Amino acid sequence: MLQGKKILLGVSGSIAAYKAALLVRLLVKEGAQVKVLMTPAACEFITPLTLATLSKQEVGVHISEHGSWSNHVMLGRWADVMLIAPASANTIAKMANGICDNLLLAVYLSATCPVLFAPAMDEDMWLHPATKANVAKLLSYGHRQLPVHRGELASGLFGEGRMAEPEAIVSYLYTFFTGRPEGQPLKGKTALVSAGPTQEPIDPVRFISNHSSGKMGIAIAEALAEAGATVHLVLGPTPKETRHAGVTTQKVVTAAEMFDACTAFAPQADIMVMAAAVADYRPRSVADKKIKKKDDEMNLELEKTADIARALGASKQSHQLLVGFSLETNNEREYALKKLNDKNLDMVVLNSLNDPGAGFNYDTNKITLLRANGQENQLPLQSKQEAAREIVSAIIDMQHG
């Protein structure tokens, strides 16, 4: 979402400096070019080496480093935006009053780009009249302040002063560059997500199912809700669940129930993500009593279940996006592309059981995103939450592109 954007990240001396590592990683994953500046105090909380490794750029701490004393002028002209996160009370005070006693502040005073800052301090410091006056000054300069969060603070108290989380900062930057609602690029959109397995009964005791936990589909539902969508989750039988306020869950058991729930909701959906592991076959007849063990063998006659993704693809409207999943063990890309074309999908998410750490029940996944327009994006092994954000990022790109 931030492809090619030049972001100059200033890290000041706050315990929240440790979050800069995740912030840099997320920005780089979004396609941004990131250069990091640190105050000497920030180096007490996180090393320049860590941020240099993640950004793949030298990290500036002292004004005499990296060639010329005038390097601070070039850095200030290079960036599309200067983001100071965390911005400590001390650094905010110096920015407000034009004090220039370290490289970060020298670059700040030389910057010709917009400046954003994410405060981080204890609640009493945040509420102090001096801090309020300094923040007001920065706002009067045309700078933008990221929201301060409530929560547990380094002092052990609970209150205002926490730095915005890295994911929220990335969303804020997306809004800054695109003009779309803050952190809500899918605001006003309705999404349908299927997740989990189905169970196809043989008798009152036994059923046919699979190892799906529903973790991936639930993560996608939550990521869509974080992006502003109103999400309807159709969830198969699994102990996993979501309590996200933006997600409404409808629980089902069988493939037929999931088909009915998805096709009934589909006409009102802008985005449809079919992440459930739906049974392809079910017993043709279900015994009303437990089948007793008699012979050495038992034969079950199976029939095909209705293909939910195919049905949604056949009735898909021009404004709707349909995403399917393809879990394979061989000829992975070939089968995924066939599914993409045969079912009229806009994107298929391919993952292979041959990849360690991917597939059912893991907390991680390794996926490839294949779009109908021919774009392909192979992603490394990552948490299912991170994979979900990648999928939603691709959905946002398709929605607005």
* Domain ranges within the chain, ordered by starting residue: 6-178, 190-280+302-400
Q: Looking at this protein, which amino acid is placed at residue 6?
A: K
Q: What is the pLDDT of residues 311-346, one digit of tens each?
A: 999 999 999 999 999 988 888 889 999 999 999 999
Q: Which residues are annotated as a binding site for CTP?
A: 280, 290, 325, 339, 343
> How far apart (Å, rounded) are the C-alpha atoms in residues 365 and 380?
8
| CATH 3.40.50.10300 corresponds to the domain 190-280+302-400 | yes
Across 51-67, average pLDDT = 82
pLDDT for res 369: 94
pLDDT above 60 for 357: yes
State the Cα–Cα distance between residues 291 and 322, nearest whole angstrom.
40
Amino acid identity at 177: F
pLDDT band with cut points at 50, 70 and 90 for residue 243: confident
pLDDT value, residue 68: 44
Q: Which of the residue ranges 46-50, 68-72, 187-191 would you say has the lowest mean pLDDT? A: 68-72
Q: Evaluate if residue 266 carries a pLDDT over 70.
A: yes
How do strand 347-352 and strand 368-371 relate by DSSP bridges? antiparallel
What are the helix and strand counts (H, E) for the chain?
13, 21
- Distance separating alpha carbons of residues 190 and 333, to the nearest angstrom: 30
pLDDT for residue 401? 59
Please give the Cα distance from 167 to 160 (Å, whole number). Answer: 18
What mean pLDDT do residues 229-236 have?
A: 96
- Identify the CATH number of the domain defined by range 6-178: 3.40.50.1950
The yes-or-no answer to whether 6-178 and 190-280+302-400 have a common fold is yes
Give the three-state DSSP class for 211. Answer: coil
pTM comes to 0.59
Alpha-carbon span 383 to 170, nearest angstrom? 18
More confident residue, 285 or 178: 285
H/E stretch holding 174: helix 166-178
> Active-site residue numbers?
210
- Token output for 95: 């920015």
Output the CA–CA distances (angstroms, integers) from residue 304 to 137, 276, 282, 348, in the order listed: 68, 17, 6, 22
Predicted local distance difference test score (pLDDT) of residue 206: 94
Q: In this structure, is the dihedral angle defined by the CA atoms of residues 359, 364, 368 and 369, taken in order, positive or negative?
A: positive
Q: Assess whether pLDDT exceeds 90 at residue 96.
A: yes
Mean pLDDT of 58-82: 74
151 beta partners: 159
pLDDT at 69 over 50: no
Identify which has the larger pLDDT, 383 or 163. Answer: 163
